[in-house]
């Protein structure tokens, strides 16, 4: 299996393993503007949220740096957030034909015990909204939206899949988990103050 896999291979393997292990309640794959804003997928478990960016292997992780106006500033401001991860593939040291998944935190690059362990570090909906706003302000504008950025409210749909692979639901996030997300009629205009940012210790 020498180098014979893709980023989507990693994403599919992770989603299947997460549901088979009962590690998440919802998974929302993201694309286009939404993927550019926050990452490849949003996962929920026990009313907590985790963001995952998938990479084919560890060698592709540095490509994320090009998405930011100033990656050093982004690391400084968001260093301590534990819910945002990069999951990537690597060939097993014990079985060269086996693909294994690994995970590390997005900004601090802290390795997790396993890829699925990343799902144990979720944050609540309110903190997630603050993080997304801060992240959007640090990223380069995306030409696919009129403002260059999109709001957390734009992360609006989710599919729920059973452990057997059956589609259980497809609906807005605020219908699926009203305690975590606001509907379109309710907006939170506040943005994180500098004091809410995190710095490396």
CB 30 within 8 A of CB 40: yes
Distance CA 188, CA 198 (A): 21
- The per-residue pLDDT for range 137-195, each reduced to its tens digit, is 999 876 654 444 444 444 444 555 555 655 555 555 555 555 545 444 444 433 343 33
SS3 content of the chain, % helix, strand, coil (to 5): 35, 25, 40
Q: Which pLDDT score, from 0 to 100, does residue 136 have?
A: 87
Q: Which pLDDT score, from 0 to 100, does residue 106 have?
A: 96
Q: Which pLDDT score, from 0 to 100, does residue 173 have?
A: 54
Highest mean pLDDT among 30-44, 65-79, 186-200: 65-79
Q: Which pLDDT score, from 0 to 100, does residue 201 have?
A: 32
Q: Which pLDDT score, from 0 to 100, does residue 143 have?
A: 60
Q: What is the DSSP string of 102-161?
A: EEEETTT-PBPSSTGGGGG--B-HHHHHHHHHHHHHHBPP-TTSTTSS--GGG--EEEEE
**Best CA proximity match to 68, nearest among 167, 142, 155, 163:** 142
- Pairing mode of beta strands 84-91, 48-55: parallel
Q: Which pLDDT score, from 0 to 100, does residue 148 have?
A: 47
Distance CA 92, CA 98 (A): 5
Residue 110 has pLDDT above 90, yes or no: yes
Could you give the 3-state DSSP secondary structure of residue 32? helix
Q: Which pLDDT score, from 0 to 100, does residue 96 have?
A: 75
Higher-pLDDT residue of 80 and 33 is 80
């Amino acid at each position: 299996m020498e180098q014979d896999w893709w980023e989507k291979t990693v994403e599919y393997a992770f989603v299947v393993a997460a549901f088979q292990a009962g590690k998440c309640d919802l998974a929302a794959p993201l694309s286009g503007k939404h993927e550019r804003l926050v990452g490849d997928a949003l996962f929920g478990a026990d009313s907590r949220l985790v963001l995952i960016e998938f990479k084919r292997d560890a060698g592709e992780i540095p490509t994320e740096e090009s998405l930011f106006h100033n990656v050093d500033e982004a690391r400084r401001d968001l260093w301590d957030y534990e819910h945002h991860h990069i999951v990537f593939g690597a060939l097993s040291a014990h079985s060269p034909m086996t693909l294994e998944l690994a995970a590390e935190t997005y900004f601090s690059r802290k390795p997790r015990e396993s890829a699925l362990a990343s799902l144990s570090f979720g944050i609540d909906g309110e903190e997630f909204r603050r993080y997304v706003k801060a992240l959007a302000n640090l990223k380069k504008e995306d030409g696919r939206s009129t403002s260059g950025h999109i709001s957390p409210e734009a992360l609006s749909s989710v599919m729920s899949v059973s452990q057997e692979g059956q589609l259980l639901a497809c609906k807005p996030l605020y219908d699926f988990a009203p305690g975590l997300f606001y509907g379109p009629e309710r907006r939170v205009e506040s943005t994180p103050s500098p004091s809410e940012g995190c710095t490396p210790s």
